Homo-oligomer: A and B are copies of this chain.
Amino acid sequence: MARTVDDLAHRSKREAILDHAAMLVRTIGYEGMSIQQLIDGLGISRGALYHYFDSKQAVLEALVDRMGDAAIAALLPIIDDPGLTASEKFRRYVNASIAVKSANQELIADLMCTWHSEANVRLRHKLTTATLDRTAPMVLEPIIRQGVEEGTFDTAYPAETARIIAGIWLGLADDLIMLLARDEDEEPLTDRARGMIRAATTAVERILGASEGSLYGDQIEQIVRLIRPQKDK
């Protein structure tokens, strides 16, 4: 029993360190964050911190893993639902992604300020790689395989196509953040964002051999709405 209590305490301390690291990354950026700031902010000794993470790089990797695990865990019930068609799963996956971003608008607005800064190149690279390496095989590939079986999708390369689609979404997210970071009038910006989103959704439907509009409908306007409040801030 003592072992379990220790495990729980270890895990809870580790989570607290990661929470504080996440706050520092949001506010001053990953490169700007120092191990010393982590120690000071948490009120622990250097030895205690190194007991959990042996380098700043290890903190980063744990942060990215935690974000990735949380995102995938939220999606698994959709992927595993035996009552849903592949197209329905795909739409719910997109809806779930939009919902997560809606629920975290403050965090996303904070992140946007530092996202494209030199201080976060490394974090961004890790996040992108981790998202690709999880989302493609664990979420998109099973949906695509099911769609091919059901005859609504048509591709000979489910695994590779999953990776291409995940890449298109990541590229779109990156381009949208860059677009929104510009200080311009909101209307032309929204139109440009809409064009970028429509181009990506059309590309994904075509790559899957799915009929036009079958995977995205009013979701396009939901994504456009999602990015507007941040511009109002």
Spell out A's residues near B (CB within 8 Å).
Answer: 57, 118, 121-122, 124-125, 155-157, 160-161, 163-164, 167-168, 171, 175, 195-196, 198-200, 202-203, 206-207, 209
Q: What residues of B have a CB within 8 angstroms of the CB of A202 in the complex?
A: 155-157, 207
Stoichiometry, as copies per complex, reads: 2
A199–B164 contact, CB under 8 A?
Answer: yes
* A interface majority secondary structure: helix
Known contacts A164-B171, A175-B163, A200-B164: does B195 contact A157 (CB below 8 Å)? yes
Least Cβ distance of A134 to chain B in Å? Answer: 15
In the complex, which residue of chain B has the Cβ closest to the Cβ of A161?
B199
B207–A57 contact, CB under 8 A?
Answer: no
In angstroms, Cα B32 to Cα A169, docked, is 32
A160–B196 contact, CB under 8 A?
Answer: yes
Q: What residues of B have a CB within 8 angstroms of the CB of A200 in the complex?
A: 160, 164
